Structure 1
Amino acid sequence: MRVAVYLPLLVPVLAAVSARWLAGRLHPRVGTWLLTATAVGLALTSGLALTALAATAVGQIPLVGALGDWSVGVLHRDDPASLTLAMTACVLLVLALAAAGRALIRRTRALINAARTARRLPTEIPFGRVVVFDDPCPDAYALPGVPGRIVVSTGMLDALNTRERQVLLAHERAHLTCGHHVFVALAYLAAATNPLLRPVAAAVGYTTERWADEYAASAVGDRRLVARTIAKAALLTSRHHSPPAGALAITTGSAATKLRGAGPVPRRVAALLAAPPRRRRLLLALALTVLALAAACSIETVRDLDALFDLARIAAS
């Protein structure tokens, strides 16, 4: 436990540094699954590490030791961390749980409101799941729900030609068909629990958009057309309001300032103008190995913590 407990606290730093790099090299579907699993897994393992460190501090409180029937002196003698570090872990754990609870409430509320909005939209329409609303401002997004809805403004439709409309609808349809809202929500919750994972959550947002881009490219059979449509839609919507909370749009994360740098939209356009993504099994195996190592350290930490308290109980008896 003296070593294993700290590794899950360090791996999120490695994940944060490499998240954008992985997102740009893995196939978008594989990258989305991997980065989401990484965010959730590291949030759990780092939280478990903080819990283990905090437990050694709480266990040394005489009243808690009396209630648990273990020797406080043994815990103090064999504590793998200093009392200051253990108390710091207590504070961080409380903050992480509070942030996770707040984020869970906020994200759940956003998804419920989005689903309610989608359910209230008309169902008997000539475009199937697509709802067209009269607004000169170009806008388009996918609302999750049962069923989900693709919402498009007349301003967006008027600005695109027939083939570009097909790209737009295929992209938004991918968000609903592939359940991208779930991946984004899980990564968001993990990042709220552990702020070090925010770059990983941002990478999940990027890979879901790339996944939808590749879906649209497969549907229309023209990668350059998809790239042109994304760039055009980004320019059209950069001056207008963002989609509702819980919705995903073809230009998600594409503020005008990001268009001037290596933001999500330029990177997506560049990826579409390049060759189709390849499956990088070695890179995937390496990332999974690191995640498995963090999980193994957490299991070892739990076993050692249980052994420490067993020893304290034996000493007390």
Structure 2
Amino acid sequence: MLISVYVPLAVTAVLTVLAPRVARRLAPRHAAWALACTALVTTVGWTGSLALLAFTGIAQIPQVAAEGRWSVPALRAEDPVYLTVAIVSAAALTAGTVSLALAAVRQTRHLLRSRRECARMPGDSELAVVDNDTPHAFALPGAPGRIVVSRGMLRCLDHEEREALLAHERAHLRGRHHLFQTLWRLTAALNPLLRPLADAGGFALERWADEEAAARVGSRRIVARAVGRAALASSPRASRPPALAATGGAVPQRVRALLSPPPPRRPLPIAGGVLLLALCCVGLANATSDSDKLLDDAQRAQCAESLTHPNAPDLDGLEACCEHGVWGGRAEHHG
């Protein structure tokens, strides 16, 4: 267990460095799905490893071992997890859990606010044009979602660019990109190492919508022009663009990608990522199995110790020994 429990942590660290770089070389849709799967699997592995390290270390505290009826010498002999490592793991897990709860509350409020905004928008169609001279355009997730565009933005674009802009925002709604964003924000709250991956995921979503818009209007150059003009028209004094906005992400890189040929399929990086995620799952499963066996052995060792010194027999302890077969084995031996 001492080695396998660290495998998910190591895989998380490697993918945190490599995944954002590799994602920019993949087709945007594949990159978004790959980053989502990576965030989900590595978060489970990260949390499970921290929990196992914290538990197997804290279980060696005499007071805790007495409650669980484990043999401390047996635990230390088979899995010497230092108490410092256990405390750090427990602290990281606690901080991540609190951060996750706060992020979940923020995301829930954000989605509820989006639904209320959708209901307040004028008109019943998918497109809502607001009478505002400030140029802005974004997709507002809801049931159903709405595309919000200001008259100021519409005046900045010609007919073809407007069509490209609306196709971009429609792709966000059709692909339910807000769910990807929610997943990345929650996993990054639980595991801070995944924040670069979440940033790369936001860029992949914008590129995904760009490619969908290019396929819709039939011209990558028109979409590039629309993205560039929309970004230039947006007020620099405004706060950060709303979620799923056409002006979000690294606009120069998006325009450069649209002016280049479509990204090819690259199965090799995806296959490598799948192998690393499989290694993460196998490591966590192996560590969990070893932890269960470790505790069983420690309980049997404690039962054997208590039967060796039966000066003050503990009925509950004897029942536990019977459950593990220790008492029965000794009775057969002495019989």
Asked if TM exceeds 0.5, the reply is yes
1:189 aligned partner, one-letter code: L
CA distance in 1, matches of 2:235, 2:27: 27
- Aligned partner (choices 245, 248, 252) of residue 252 of structure 1: 248
Contact 2:241 2:247 in 1 (8 A): no
Structure 1 stretches of 5 or more lacking a match?
Answer: 254-263
1:270 aligns with 2:256: yes
2:108 aligned partner, one-letter code: T
Question: Deviation at 1:189?
Answer: 0.9
1:249 aligned partner, one-letter code: A
Change in 2 beyond 3 A, CA 1:310/1:224: same
Which residue in the other structure is 1:27 paired with?
A: 27
Question: Deviation at 1:18?
Answer: 1.7
Contact 1:52 1:302 in 2 (8 A): yes
CA distance in 1, matches of 2:112, 2:67: 42
Which residue in the other structure is 2:130 paired with?
A: 133
CA distance in 2, matches of 1:272, 1:74: 62
Change in 2 beyond 3 A, CA 1:175/1:210: same
Contact 1:141 1:243 in 2 (8 A): no
CA RMSD of aligned residues (A): 1.5
Structure 2 stretches of 5 or more lacking a match?
Answer: 304-335
Which residue in the other structure is 1:179 paired with?
A: 176
Contact 2:135 2:235 in 1 (8 A): no
Q: Give secondary structure in 2 for the equivalent of 1:30.
A: helix
Per-residue CA distance 1:113-166 (angstroms, 9 max, x = gap): 112211232343xxx201111111100111111010111111000111111000
2:248 aligned partner, one-letter code: T
CA distance in 2, matches of 1:240, 1:167: 25
Which residue in the other structure is 2:148 paired with?
A: 151
CA distance in 2, matches of 1:91, 1:78: 24
Which residue in the other structure is 1:279 paired with?
A: 265
CA distance in 2, matches of 1:285, 1:110: 35
Q: Give secondary structure in 2 for the equivalent of 1:167.
A: helix
Q: Give secondary structure in 1 for the equivalent of 2:86.
A: helix
CA distance in 2, matches of 1:300, 1:312: 18
Contact 1:23 1:206 in 2 (8 A): no
Question: Deviation at 1:19?
Answer: 2.7
Contact 1:119 1:146 in 2 (8 A): no
Which residue in the other structure is 2:220 paired with?
A: 223
CA distance in 1, matches of 2:180, 2:101: 18
Which moves more between the two structures, 65-74 or 272-281? 65-74
Superposed, which structure 2 residues align to 1:60-139 within 5 Å?
60-124=60-124, 128-139=125-136
Question: Deviation at 1:243?
Answer: 6.5
Which residue in the other structure is 1:163 paired with?
A: 160
Give the percent of matched residue pairs that are identical in Structure 1 and Structure 2: 46
Question: Deviation at 1:65?
Answer: 2.3
Which moves more between the two structures, 70-79 or 40-49? 70-79
1:252 aligned partner, one-letter code: G
Question: Deviation at 1:178?
Answer: 0.3
2:173 aligned partner, one-letter code: L
Question: Deviation at 1:71?
Answer: 2.0
2:265 aligned partner, one-letter code: R
1:158 aligned partner, one-letter code: R
Per-residue CA distance 1:278-317 (angstroms, 9 max, x = gap): 1111111111111111111111111111111111111122
- Aligned partner (choices 311, 314, 317) of residue 297 of structure 2: 311
Which moves more between the two structures, 236-245 or 101-110? 236-245
Contact 1:70 1:309 in 2 (8 A): yes
User: Larger radius of gyration, structure 1 or 2?
Assistant: 2
Contact 2:134 2:235 in 1 (8 A): no
Which residue in the other structure is 1:296 paired with?
A: 282
1:117 aligned partner, one-letter code: E
Per-residue CA distance 1:218-246 (angstroms, 9 max, x = gap): 0000001111111111111151424776x
CA distance in 1, matches of 2:16, 2:255: 23
1:12 aligns with 2:12: yes
Change in 2 beyond 3 A, CA 1:80/1:122: farther
Per-residue CA distance 1:21-70 (angstroms, 9 max, x = gap): 22211111111001011012111101110000000122123333233232
1:211 aligns with 2:217: no
Question: Deviation at 1:84?
Answer: 1.3
CA distance in 2, matches of 1:239, 1:226: 21
